[in-house]
Chains A and B, each alone.
Chain A
Amino acid sequence: MMIEIDCRGLACPQPVLRAKKALDNMQEEEVLVIVDNPAAKENLERLANFLNYIFKLEKKEDNNYYIIIKKPKGNEYST
């Protein structure tokens, strides 16, 4: 199961803090983070790179970014 963190309406650094907390305690292998501004999206990408996790922009609807951050498996690498 994937945890979903809805960070719409939250200013930086809140989306990163919430994502980090979820990833730190992560039982599951991935989280879905929803943010509504490009700065939050980029900050989540930095966090994922820092943790050596995979960052994937799943979809963008209007100003909402649906981002999946997950642990790399086998031959998957963070870009």
Chain B
Amino acid sequence: MTEFSLHCGCAAKVGAQYLCEILNQLPGSVNQNLIVGLESFDDAGVYKLDENTALVQTVDFFPPIVDDPYLFGSISACNALSDVFAMGGKPVTCLAIVCFPTKKLSLEILGEILKGGFDKVKEAGAIIVGGHTIEDEQPKYGLAVTGIINPGKVITNAGMKSGDSLVLTKPLGTGIIVTAAKGELAKPEDFAGAINSMTTLNKVASQIMQEAGANAATDITGFGLLGHLFQMAKASRVAVNLWMDHIPILKGALEYANLGLVPEGAYNNRIWVGNNVLFDTEIVTAEKDILFDPQTSGGLLIALPKERADVLLLKLKESGCKSAACIGEVFDGEAGLIKVKRRKNDDRN
């Protein structure tokens, strides 16, 4: 099915630089109940219904990222639900968005995609209440998700504070591994690792993050770790240190990056955000590729006070987020600046 995809998964996202330009031309929505709108480029919109309840809304859909239709449905649903989890919300209802070439592909395939999505939504504790399907040359699937949240407990990307630790809950490299798989160059075990990561809901990680008390969070998707971190740091008006050796990376991803199996989205992310990143001279090209790599159904990036980071990490690991790691820290500096160092306490540059 991936032969129908020019771009895979979240790599199909329109580049952030274009989006920013277009969105800036819109008048913007002003409403006293709107807690999070378009302006902050956050994961989901949040609208207050009353003192105790706000709606969290998001939509995500993309062309096949894998050939197995059930897995494609599962990954796409997982990715769409993630935006609600990243805000600290609870997904409640979902609408399916489907594009499908009924004359070219069997309806059984469509059934499998929907089943994959259905099962993942169920696992997330939400339900699918409807959807919309249109004929299209290229299959696409995703969800519009509505969740609920306490308006006083919304975790946006704008709350990072100097001194905070940064925790990432899943390994990076899904874009590169999917690109390698598309070229039939990915080892089965490496591809399985990426699939396992992409079909893991951020539900448990979100619950643990809320218990630990996060200052800010986002989920890592099409703009890559550096793109999403840049948005967080800019919105929070702080700078960030990242420690390359501490960043979890899917097995095989560095090797495939070295071979030149880097998705175009990674280069777009670099064009957009690269000027805000200072790499230590010893950070190699493949490592940079990983940091710019567009992720599909990536992990949560959580900023929280340093003294609570160890407990958060311990709980994440206990609950199955085995790759979770503290990957950096927030400091007072130029808003949006990211310094990538080899390791913690490495102040050579």
Contacts and interface: CB of A to CB of B under 8 A. Distances in A.
Interface of A: 11-14, 16-17, 20, 37-40, 42-47, 49-50
A38 B267 contact: yes
B313 interface: no
Contact of B180 (A13, A37, A39, A44): A13
A12 B185 CA distance: 13
Interface residues of B, number: 20
Given A11-B7, A17-B183, 11 more contacts: A12-B179, A12-B264, A13-B179, A14-B183, A16-B261, A42-B262, A42-B267, A44-B260, A45-B260, A46-B258, A47-B259
Contacts of B179: 12-13
24 contacts: A11-B6, A11-B264, A12-B261, A12-B262, A12-B264, A13-B260, A16-B183, A16-B259, A17-B183, A17-B185, A37-B264, A38-B267, A39-B262, A39-B263, A39-B268, A40-B264, A42-B260, A42-B267, A43-B260, A43-B262, A46-B258, A46-B262, A46-B286, A50-B259
Nearest to A10: B6
Nearest to B184: A17
Interface in B261-279: 261-264, 266-268
A13 B183 contact: yes
A-B CB proximity, top 9 nearest: A43-B260, A46-B260, A47-B260, A39-B264, A13-B183, A39-B267, A16-B260, A17-B183, A50-B258
A5 to B, nearest CB: 14
Nearest to A40: B264
Given A17-B183, A39-B264, A39-B267, A46 B257 contact: yes
Contacts of A45: 260
Contacts of A16: 183, 259-261
Contact of A43 (B6, B182, B185, B261): B261
B259 A46 contact: yes
A13 B182 CA distance: 7
With most chain B CB atoms within 10 A of its CB, the pick from A12, A20, A37, A46 is A12
Nearest to A15: B260
Contacts of B264: 11-12, 37, 39-40
B6 A13 contact: no
With most chain B CB atoms within 10 A of its CB, the pick from A13, A39, A45, A49 is A13
B106 interface: no
A39 B293 CA distance: 12
A40 B179 CA distance: 13
Nearest to B286: A46
A39 B266 CA distance: 9
